[in-house]
Structure 1
Amino acid sequence: MSSEEGGALSRRAFTSILGVGAAAAASGAAFGQAPSQRQGPPTVVSNPPRDFSPRGAPTTYFSDPDILSVDPSFDNLVQPNAAIQRIWTGALWAEGPAWNAQGRYLVWSDIPNNRQLRWIEDDGRVSVFRTPSGNSNGNTFDYQGRQISCEHLNRRVVRYELDGSATVLADSYQGKRLNSPNDAVPHPDGSVWFTDPPYGGQLYEGAPDEAGGPSNPSGRINPRLGQPPEVGRWRRELPTNVYRLDPSGRLDVVITEEQVPDPNGLCFSPDYRRLYVASTGKGPGDRGPGGKGDIHVFEVGPDNRLSNGRRFADCVVDGVNCNSDGLRCDVEGNVWASSNAGRNLGYSGVTVWNPDGKLIGRIRLPEVCGNVCFGGPKRNRLFMAASQSLYAVYVGTQGAAPG
């Protein structure tokens, strides 16, 4: 789908496609209500329905109605007269947005379609950037401007070099294949830190284990169908850890599954003295209960050892679990977390937490949000990869790190 087609898709047309727009208009349900109070299926974030496309009627007369200040401190982070925009739609599951400052473009993953997409700032054009992508999930750019991608299908982390070649940074630990690396962040010392939950062990986003493996115990699923010859011959062997890849090539476990089950998104604080990690739900082959959708924080010592691990935020808002996934910090140390609230419409989007773990603001989107990043030439535009679409809004702060 072209960027024009994506931009022209209105919110009203989108709900009509789903066949539920009329039911929502009749219900007039407010989106802060509990699910039991809604009359009919939920369809929109704002009431009346809004059109997120460039051709839609104005919705923002001073501040966007779907950017909510929970605490007055969030007012300083909101950019007046800046509207949330849907700048593209057409993915199966959008994830891993990352901003390339030199090229002034955004790259993100469409995991089930096995491709990476690129949005170019100067004309808003969207094109396929890389296919196949190894069912890549998280992407980032290191301090040398090289793209780093986490591949579900190939169960590895790769780096795309400046000359166009690709380097496998990590695909195993102590001789055992990684599960499905999910998200990665660079450190100024040249290291790369990444999470390794098992979500790529499903048909939709990667490939299950070979017959008898934890994600394919019955062996009824053939993981080799439609895949390159080497895929489908692995099985899950490792717990869901967080790793640090040293510039020397040494790979170390920095957070164990017992500390943070099913680690997903992660980010550093602006001074790199804290590491935030999202813990998400039970994945393929998990024997334990999985994570709770909350965010954990650890202190980072000068030797890169982590200490004082604790829960930073439960991500529960108005009794609704706004399960966190991707994370980014701004220059003030606030944590911007994507929110997957499932069918609790009005709670998916982004939650914003101050350094003390207090909820200060929310951004409501009409789709589940998987990941976020800061971009634009001034790094003051928040990009949100949300289900089938890519959204963006200017904010009153800057992202703390590249990518």
Structure 2
Amino acid sequence: MTRQEARDGELHDRNAALSRRTLVQGLAISAASMAGAGAALAQTGPAAPPTTITTPPRDFSPNGAPTTYFWDPDIIAVDPSFDDLAQPNTAIKRLYTGLLWAEGPAWSAQGRYLLWSDIPNNRQMRWTEDDGRVSVFRTPSNNSNGNSFDFQGRQLSCEHLTRRVTRYEHDGTATVLADSYQGKKLNSPNDIAAHPDGSYWFTDPPYGGQLYEGEPDAAGGPSNASGKLNPRIGQPAGFVPGKRELPTNCYRIDPTGRIDLVVTEDQVPDPNGLCFSPDYKKLYVASTGKGPGDTGPGGKGEIFVFDVGSDNKLTNFKKFTDCVIDGVKCGPDGLRCDVNGNLWASSNAGRAVGYSGVTVWSPEGKLLGRIRLPEVCGNVCFGGPKRNRLFMAASQSLYAVYTATQGAGPG
């Protein structure tokens, strides 16, 4: 090495060190500035609204700026296999907002529209696929919660106010499928799934026993023990309030009309969403939190699974998942399976922003991925002409995103 080459090498080393020091110092100053700005924001105004990883906060509305990512930043693959279920180059869209509590989405393949419940507003809403128009579909709805469509395309609704399950026939008439069990009134049917054998399976927790989503019990009932609430206010003349008489069970409506108890409160307290696997050999049931009038511990935000026998008897009962992700309880509500048997569950993570939305599980109970929403999600369903669009009823809004899979079963 010549003397000149040695001097050139020494100068290069000094410049490289200076560049590294400058970079580190610059990053430190930048980080401090960002921290200071964050502190200033925390001191001068309210916390930013629930949002995603994007800055400024993302606008999900139809008029919001489009995402510029190949993968939507709020569709998160926890397991690599989720890449086969999530659709790249598509974005989560808020289709509508202005609800009080959105629930029970169901897709009409014949009408090519999405139906869902706005429980406190006592109405059902409809989003039409051809023009994206939203309208009131049915009012009053008897504070309906879960909806679905059977294999004949008839709408099924679980009604809080009337404590019954109703089917709307093609000729426009309504048939009451169930309103009692062994002579006792149901609590407040919540969610329903049709079976190919012509039966309907539904859950019956007590959540309709409150003013906001239905009617409290008559004076002295479990959800109105003091009798201070008047359940007749706001109801038609002649309305007769009931009292909670049954545990929180799951039932099967036989094609003959007979109602059978299939899951007891001891097995799944406060059952909420339910769905079948694509082959109808498994039944998934979500157990949510303690409801009005519960005297026991109530549900713990878990999902359970049963084997369904050819005689419709349930066996091999076990916990499918506790729905705890990264130490956060992602309480389940509505459930749907895709054609591969993966379970898509709505997530209520409360104030843990970034964990509400949808969780996706393999048939073995392994977490595959998540969809983050800026609101608590109550229920989901697959729809669209190809049944490859996931609709999400979330608090005040309706969201949708295309997937790379299809929903199993009707509704």
SS of match in other structure, 2:301: strand
For the Cα contact (< 8 Å) 2:125–2:135, is it kept in 1? Answer: yes
The residue that corresponds to 1:216 in the other structure is: 224
State the partner residue of 1:45.
Answer: 52
Give the corresponding residue for 2:161. 153
Aligned match of 1:372 in 366, 375, 380?
380
Gaps of 5+ in 2: 1-34, 40-45
Matches within 5 A, 1:202-281: 202-281=210-289
- Is the 2:50–2:375 contact (alpha carbons within 8 Å) kept by the matching residues of 1? no
- Letter of the aligned partner of 1:296 in structure 2? F
Q: 182, 185, 191: which one pairs with 2:193?
A: 185
Matched residues in 2 for 1:69 and 1:287: separation? 40
Q: Please state which structure has a larger fraction of its residues in helix.
A: 2
Shift of 1:232: 4.5
Please list, as runs of the form range in 1=range in 2, the aligned pairs for 1:3-402 lying within 5 A after superposition.
27=38, 40=47, 43-48=50-55, 49-402=57-410
Deviations 1:247-268 (A, max 9, x none): 0000000000000000000000
* Distance of 2:198 and 2:117 partners within structure 1: 24
| TM-score, with structure 1 as normaliser | 0.90
Distance of 1:25 and 1:80 partners within structure 2: 36
1:229 CA displacement = 3.7
Distance 1:86 1:137 in 2: 21
Q: Which SS does the other structure have where 1:75 is aligned?
A: helix
Partner of 2:3: none
Instruction: Judge conservation of contact 1:379–1:399 (CA < 8 Å) in 2.
Output: yes
Give aligned pairs, total.
Answer: 370
Change (3 A) 1:293 1:232: farther
Identity %: 76
Change in Cα spacing, 1:68 to 1:285, as seen in structure 2 (3 Å) is same
Q: Secondary structure at the match of 1:367?
A: coil
Contact kept? 1:60, 1:82, Cα under 8 Å: no
Kept in 2, the 8 Å contact 1:88–1:391? The answer is yes
Residues in 2 aligned to 1:256 and 1:308: alpha-carbon distance in whole angstroms: 14
Closer/same/farther in 2, CA of residues 25 and 274 from structure 1, 3 Å limit:
farther
Mapped contact 1:85–1:393 kept (Cα < 8 A): yes
In 1, Cα distance between the equivalents of 2:240 and 2:219?
9
Which residue number in structure 1 is paired with residue 22 of structure 2? Answer: none
Q: Is the 8 A contact 2:272 2:288 kept in 1?
A: yes
Q: Is the 8 A contact 1:100 1:141 kept in 2?
A: yes
CA distance in 2, matches of 1:101, 1:149: 17
Unaligned runs of 5+ in 1: 1-23, 29-38
Query: Match for 1:131: what amino acid?
Result: T
Whether the 8 Å CA contact 1:269–1:333 is kept in 2: the answer is yes
How far the C-alpha of 1:97 sits from its partner, in A, is: 0.2
2:31 corresponding residue in structure 1: none
Cα distance in 1 between the residues matched to 2:304 and 2:68: 35
Distance apart, 1:27 and its partner CA = 3.7
| Contact map agreement 1:207 1:232 (CA 8 A) in 2 | no
CA RMSD of aligned residues (A): 1.5
**Aligned AA (2:183):** G
CA deviation after TM superposition for structure 1 residue 50, in Å: 1.1
Amino acid at match of 1:157: V
Q: 2: CA distance between counterparts of 1:398 and 1:239? A: 35
Deviations 1:264-319 (A, max 9, x none): 00000000000000000000100011111110000000000000111001100110
Alpha-carbon distance in 1 for matches of 2:165, 2:88? 39
Distance 2:289 2:266 in 1: 14
CA distance in 1, matches of 2:80, 2:229: 52
Kept after mapping to 1: 8 A contact 2:215/2:241: no
1:56 to partner: Cα distance: 2.1
Residues 50-69 of structure 1 show CA distances to partners (whole Å, capped at 9, x for unaligned) of 11123222214211000000
Separation in 1, partners of 2:333, 2:239: 26
Alpha-carbon distance in structure 1 between the residues aligned to 2:380 and 2:262: 24
SS in 2 for 1:284: coil
Amino acid of the structure 1 residue aligned with 2:148: T
Which residue does the alignment assign to 2:15? none
Q: SS at 1:291's partner residue?
A: coil
Q: Mark the structure with the bigger radius of gyration.
A: 2
For the residues of structure 2 that align with 1:361 and 1:326, how far apart are their CA atoms? 17
Measured at CA, do residues 243 and 27 of structure 1 come closer, stay the same or move farther in structure 2, by a change above 3 Å? Answer: farther
Instruction: Specify the code of the residue in structure 1 equivalent to 2:309.
Output: G
Q: What is the DSSP-based 3-state SS (H/G/I as helix, E as strand, rest coil) of the residue aligned with 1:123? A: coil
